Amino acid sequence: MSGERSTARTTLARAGEGLPTGRSVGLAIGALFWAWLVVRWVTIWAGYSEPFFPVAFFEGLATGFENDALVMQQNTGALAPVLDFVAGFWFLFSDVASFVAFAVEYLPTLAEGAWLTVVLTVAGIAFGLVIAVPLSVARVYGGVVTRSLALVYIELIRGTPLLAQLFVIYYGLNMSQYFRGVSSGLLPTTAVWVAIVGFTINSAAYQAEYIRSALESVESGQLTAARAIGLSRIDGIRHVVLPQGLRYAIPGWTNELVYLIKYSSLAAFITVVELFESGRDIAGQTFQYLNIYALLALFYLALVLSATLFMGWVEDRVAIPGLGVRDGRE
Amino acid sequence: MVLSLASPPALDAVDWVALAQFESGDWAFVREQLPYLARGFVVTLLLTLTSIVLGFLAGFPMGAIEVYGRGPLRSFVYGAGVVLRAIPIVVILVFMFFVAPIPLPGGQFAFDVPRVGSVSFGRSAFLAATVGLGLRSAAYQAQIFRGALQSVSGGQMEAARSVGMSRLQGIRHVVLPQALRRSIPGFQNEFTIVLKDTSIAFAIGLTELFARADNLFTQRTTATLELFLFISLVYFIMTFVTNRSLDYLGDYYAIPGGDR
Amino acid sequence: MSDQHSGTADGTDTSAATASGTEASDTDTASADAATAGAASQPLLRVEDLQKSYGDETVLRGISFDLDKRDVEVIIGPSGSGKSTMLRCVNRLTEFQGGAIYLDGESVMAMNDNDLRRRVGMVFQDINLFAHLTALQNVTLGLRKVRGMGKEAAREKAMDQLDRVGLASQADSYPAELSGGQKQRVGIARALAMDPELLLFDEPTSALDPELVGEVLEVMRDLAEGGMTMLVVTHEMGFARRAASSLMFLDEGRIVERGPPEQLFDDPEHDRTAEFLQRLTTISEEV
Ligand SMILES: Nc1ncnc2c1ncn2[C@@H]1O[C@H](COP(=O)(O)OP(=O)(O)O)[C@@H](O)[C@H]1O
Ligand SMILES: [Mg+2]
């Protein structure tokens, strides 16, 4: 693949292929993860938030291993060096078991946080796209005024930190007040709505850039040919340039999706309890920082790798012979 | 203000009361706090530089290893890259600060900057932020260099070998000079990403620009919008200047007729 | 083939629209009135003192000629002489600064450009098939979005056109899966499907490998024999000799010479024409 934009995608995509049988193993793990996550969400909505697996069992395992190891270490006979060696492994098993016990206990909370992470990501990219398409078309095909307006928007948003943007709309403009009406009951809290607005505004600018460069890589002869059979400019862009350009933009989208999954964590600072914030809450209660951050890392890794695999699948699905595999496109 | 200086006759046309109303309070508060914010700005600049440098020092060899390396080293670099690129930077920073087994020094860094005054900030937070932002950046810079190295055609290496250079010489004298030029656009992108993401170091209490705005905002909640708009502008100017400078660098080192 | 010019409902519609258009445009120049007056022999295309420049660079310096229905005009000339520009003025893919162009008596400047392009088809040197659409979809797109035809009707009509260029069997192939010659034949089918009154060809074979040129020229010859009015920029002299009703030599934005092909080949008035034709034939013999 070409261009820096697509690098994240290709490397991550290759993560699945790196190991010889890695791809199928990866897919199986991914499928299990999502199956569990979806079932977990459904049970939580249905009012059941207890762990699916017995925490006490793994805790028991952990203490069992640890006690055994301590006993082994106390042996002073001829076998002492061997037992000491084995004890080392038993301590390791004990650690693993207590990590699993910890994970089992707090997975429901993290799953709840992951729900909001997914919601913010999907909403951000979808609403962002709705704005990004006209923005990028204005940027490429617009007149002086629309082109400059689009350029200013895109550059201002891309030139400032997302965190500052979230603070401006949440604390500065107090945007939550507009969402009071749509945040009761099962609906998300007002902060979630504001975060969605923030990610939409932000993502629109980045997506517009990806789509712009994709549109520019569609040969100009395509629009000329569309005009030559009598299509208007707008129709030519809509039926000929966009269908090709949007395919070229898929690697950019993969990046954008990965970006949103990760940066949705910043919603934590405007009080949204998404994945990172729910992890922070757990850390605050348990002080088990290492465990919780390991879990968070695994969660994000799973989300990001699934997004990458999914986009690869989308790219294959909409692939057209001879399109999007051209070299030298940037 | 400037306008009224330029055209004194319009003085009485300006609604001074309304202007004063607007001017008073929150923007004035931002102006008062400029020195305080400026010290944060210095920290932001410093953190950006240290992170980028660490990212380059680690990322450049990582990229080379991904292209030319083999065996467990390559797998390790590759795996580390995947993980670092998949985890949110805020998680990485908090991890580096609270969990990672890095010996973080205590106390404060403090030094005088002419016209800005005494800048001081926590040693441990700054170090953790540098390591976090730097390693994450290394993972991305490695990708940029990897892509650039791979984009130099195999023919170039063959040509180098055909004039009698060793593999290492070929890399050093033929592939690298071209690859480095080609990484400029990606590097530009990465530089601004690091710059913007230094704001997230406020999560571990580093008193850089964003954290200082955040502190002021808790002091005076009515000035929130003004404060964050103002620092956004500062970040924008920084990214803008960075981009233009690197554009210039790219043009300066461009090979006539060649792509970058 | 000729059934598309007469008989169909579309054909009648178009001529009705053209007649009213002509009546309305009495602000046009005197010669246009004259042309309307002699309605029986009104040329399908009239180009009058056409002038065009890009910025400071003048590309067309006053070009005038008539083209009757069923005429096939072949245009030759050195690279940069303005051939493509002239074609693009006819369907207004580019705007011109001076002179006038009439299609069936109606000034193209007075027409909606989308309507104009529906009536004047174009085949490109670089083919420009829509890369994301199959051969069939390339042809149906215009029928559906410009002519507003239904899905089935468009499909049927498009299949007829593909059949006409011998590519019905490749209807579901994407451009990347077709050879250059096949692509260009789809390009012709795409233009034909709109039932154009006039077809413009801009060096339709010059991007093709030599062995693929023949199949495209054959389709074009069939069209010419079927009575299609064509304005063809090409340096395929075999085609010019056999299919052209008239040959035009363009140089530096002017018509140097124009006449029946045999006359230009055998007894050109200008040395420049002779020289250029001489070079063309030498090159094609080398190839
Ligand atoms: N879009 C354009 N902008 C500026 N100059 C152009 C453009 N298109 C063509 N020209 C110029 O007009 C002249 C005639 O071009 P063209 O009509 O393409 O020639 P031909 O088709 O006979 O080779 C050339 O000198 C070319 O450089
Ligand atoms: Mg031409």
**What are the structural domains of chain C?**
43-286 (3.40.50.300)
Distance C53 CA to ligand 1 centre (A): 9
Q: Which pLDDT does position C40 carry in this prediction?
A: 54
Q: Which pLDDT does position C283 carry in this prediction?
A: 67
Dihedral angle computed from the Cα positions of residues B82, B83, B86 and B92, in that order, rounded to the nearest 10 degrees: -140
Q: Which pLDDT does position C3 carry in this prediction?
A: 39
C187 compared with A29, residue with greater pLDDT: C187
Residue B11 has pLDDT above 60, yes or no: no
Residue type, B58: A
Beta-carbon separation of A301 and B86 below 8 A: yes
- Ligand 1 atom, smallest distance to C253 CA: 14
How many CB atoms are located within 10 Å of the residue C230 CB?
A: 23
Residue B10 has pLDDT above 50, yes or no: no
Residue B250 has pLDDT above 90, yes or no: no
C12 compared with B136, residue with greater pLDDT: B136
- Chain segment C73-107, per-residue pLDDT in tens: 999 999 999 999 999 999 999 999 999 999 999 99
Beta-carbon separation of A290 and B99 below 8 A: yes
Residues C185, C193 contacting (CB under 8 angstroms): no
Atom 9 of ligand 1: nearest residue by CA position = C85
Residue A244 has pLDDT above 80, yes or no: yes
Query: What residues does each domain of chain A span?
Result: 1-48, 111-329
Residues B236, A156 contacting (CB under 8 angstroms): yes
Is residue B156 situated within a structural domain?
Answer: yes
* Lowest-pLDDT choice from B75-84, B116-125, C117-126, C276-285: C276-285
Residues C87, A203 contacting (CB under 8 angstroms): no
Instruction: Please tell me the distance from the alpha carbon of residue C83 to that of residue C200, in angstroms, as a whole number.
Output: 11
Cβ neighbours for B137, distance < 8 A, ≥ 6 positions apart: B51, B52, B54, B55, B59, B190, B193, B194
- State which of A3-12, A93-102, C19-28, C247-256 shows the largest mean pLDDT: C247-256
Q: Tokens in use for A296?
A: 């968070």
Mutating to test ligand 1, I would choose from C53, C56, C57, C231 the residue with most ligand atoms within 8 A of its C-beta, which is C57
Nearest chain A residue to B195 by CA: give it.
Answer: A161
Cβ neighbours for A222, distance < 8 A, ≥ 6 positions apart: A240, A241, A244, C128, C130, C131
Q: Tokens in use for A141?
A: 């095909």
pLDDT confidence tier of residue C194, bands split at 50, 70 and 90: very high
Is residue B124 situated within a structural domain?
Answer: yes
* Lowest-pLDDT choice from A13-22, A48-57, B86-95, C4-13: C4-13
pTM of the full predicted structure? 0.80
Identify the CATH homologous superfamily for domain A111-329.
Answer: MetI-like (1.10.3720.10)
Return mean pLDDT, chain B.
84
Contact partners of A by the rule of 3+ C-beta pairs under 8 A?
Answer: B, C
Instruction: Please tell me the distance from the alpha carbon of residue A29 to that of residue B200, in angstroms, as a whole number.
Output: 32
Beginning with the edge strand found earlier in the chain, give each strand of the sheet holding C98-103 in spatial order.
C57-67, C45-54, C98-103, C106-107
Q: Using alpha carbons, list the distances in angstroms from residue A280 to A113, A207, A259, A286.
A: 11, 30, 20, 10
Which spans in A217-288 are helix H? 220-228, 233-236, 242-248, 250-263, 275-286
Q: Which pLDDT does position A186 carry in this prediction?
A: 65
Q: What is the average pLDDT across B121-127?
A: 91
Is residue B73 situated within a structural domain?
Answer: yes
B and C touch per CB criterion (3+ pairs under 8 A): no
- Does the beta carbon of C234 sit less than 6 angstroms from any atom of ligand 1? no
* Lowest-pLDDT choice from B17-21, C29-33, C216-220, C278-282: C29-33
- Does the beta carbon of C95 sit less than 6 angstroms from any atom of ligand 1? no
Beta-carbon separation of A163 and B200 below 8 A: yes
Q: What is the average pLDDT across B47-69?
A: 93
Q: Which helix (H) or strand (E) covers residue C60, if one does?
A: strand C57-67
Residues A114, A299 contacting (CB under 8 angstroms): yes
pLDDT confidence tier of residue B23, bands split at 50, 70 and 90: low
Q: What is the average pLDDT across B219-237?
A: 89
Closest CA to A176 of A267, A105, A292, A66: A267
Tell me the sheet residues that pair with C122.
C200
**A residues 246..305 contacting B (CB < 8 A):** 258, 262-263, 265-266, 268-269, 276, 279-280, 289-290, 293, 296-297, 300-301, 304-305
Atom 3 of ligand 1: nearest residue by CA position = C54
Closest CA to C170 of C203, C215, C234: C215
How many CB atoms are located within 10 Å of the residue A37 CB?
A: 20
Q: Which pLDDT does position A15 carry in this prediction?
A: 45
Which spans in chain A are helix H? 7-18, 22-45, 55-74, 80-141, 144-159, 162-167, 190-216, 220-228, 233-236, 242-248, 250-263, 275-286, 289-317
Instruction: Please tell me the distance from the alpha carbon of residue C242 to that of residue A16, in angstroms, as a whole number.
Output: 62
Q: What is the average pLDDT across B87-107?
A: 89
- Does the beta carbon of C187 sit less than 6 angstroms from any atom of ligand 1? no
Residue type, C208: L
Residue B241 has pLDDT above 70, yes or no: yes
Instruction: Please tell me the distance from the alpha carbon of residue B242 to that of residue B232, in angstroms, as a whole number.
Output: 15
pLDDT confidence tier of residue B180, bands split at 50, 70 and 90: confident
* Lowest-pLDDT choice from A191-205, A229-243, B178-192, C133-147: B178-192
- Chain segment A15-61, per-residue pLDDT in tens: 444 444 667 888 888 899 999 999 999 999 888 888 888 888 888 88
pLDDT confidence tier of residue B257, bands split at 50, 70 and 90: low
* CA torsion through residues C20, C24, C30, C32, sign: negative
- Chain segment A65-89, per-residue pLDDT in tens: 888 888 888 877 778 888 888 888 8
Distance C55 CA to ligand 1 centre (A): 11
Distance A193 CA to ligand 2 centre (A): 56
Beta-carbon separation of A225 and C129 below 8 A: yes
Q: What is the average pLDDT across B104-114?
A: 84
Instruction: Please tell me the distance from the alpha carbon of residue A200 to that of residue A120, in angstroms, as a whole number.
Output: 9
For residue B187, give its domain range: 34-243
Q: Which pLDDT does position A22 carry in this prediction?
A: 67
Q: Which pLDDT does position B24 carry in this prediction?
A: 61
- Does the beta carbon of C235 sit less than 6 angstroms from any atom of ligand 1? no
Query: Three-state DSSP class for B88?
Result: coil
Q: What is the average pLDDT across B166-181?
A: 85
Q: Tokens in use for A98?
A: 């207590």
Q: Using alpha carbons, list the distances in angstroms from residue B243 to B48, B186, C1.
A: 14, 11, 61
Q: What is the average pLDDT across C50-79?
A: 95
Residue A129 has pLDDT above 50, yes or no: yes
* Lowest-pLDDT choice from B6-20, C100-114, C148-162, C263-277: B6-20
Q: What is the average pLDDT across C231-241?
A: 93
Residues B38, B116 contacting (CB under 8 angstroms): yes
Q: Which pLDDT does position B192 carry in this prediction?
A: 93
Q: Please report the DSSP string for C226-270 in residue order.
A: TT--EEEE---HHHHHHH-SEEEEEETTEEEEEE-HHHHHHS-SS
- Comparing CB atoms, the residue among C93, C146, C174 nearest residue A322 is C174
Q: What is the average pLDDT across A201-211?
A: 95
Q: Using alpha carbons, list the distances in angstroms from residue C40 to A204, B6, C37, C43, C196.
A: 60, 73, 8, 9, 21
Q: Above pLDDT 90, what percent of chain B?
A: 44
- Comparing CB atoms, the residue among C118, C132, C190 nearest residue A244 is C132
pLDDT confidence tier of residue B237, bands split at 50, 70 and 90: very high
Q: Which pLDDT does position C179 carry in this prediction?
A: 94
- How near does any CA of chain A get to the CA of C259, in Å? 29
Residue type, A203: S
Q: What is the CATH number of the domain that holds B183?
A: 1.10.3720.10
Residue B217 has pLDDT above 90, yes or no: no
Residue A325 has pLDDT above 90, yes or no: no
Beta-carbon separation of B229 and A4 below 8 A: no
Q: Which pLDDT does position B258 carry in this prediction?
A: 57
Beta-carbon separation of B91 and A160 below 8 A: no
Beta-carbon separation of C131 and A322 below 8 A: yes
- Ligand 1 atom, smallest distance to C55 CA: 4
* Count of structural domains within chain B: 1
Residue C5 has pLDDT above 70, yes or no: no
Instruction: Please tell me the distance from the alpha carbon of residue A237 to that of residue C143, in angstroms, as a whole number.
Output: 17
- Does the beta carbon of C77 sit less than 6 angstroms from any atom of ligand 1? yes
pLDDT confidence tier of residue A185, bands split at 50, 70 and 90: low
